Amino acid sequence: YQLRFECLSNRVFGLFHSTLLNYFFSGLLPKIERELTIHKPHSIHQAIGLAKLV
């Protein structure tokens, strides 16, 4: 999922970082999404790193 998301997000311009984070979260399994919501990552790279740890 991470690789697909990064490839697609690199094709889109003009989105806020918060919007990209929301899109990333929406594609995660609910358990992983809940964990990331608790930790509140500030960047897509932080979110990806945390998702890998869950």
Number of H helices, E strands in the chain: 4, 0
Residue type, 50: L
Q: Answer for the pair 51, 43: CB distance below 8 angstroms, yes or no.
A: no
1-54 pLDDT per residue, tens:
999 999 999 999 999 999 999 999 999 999 999 999 999 999 999 999 999 999
Could you tell me the pTM of the whole model? 0.86
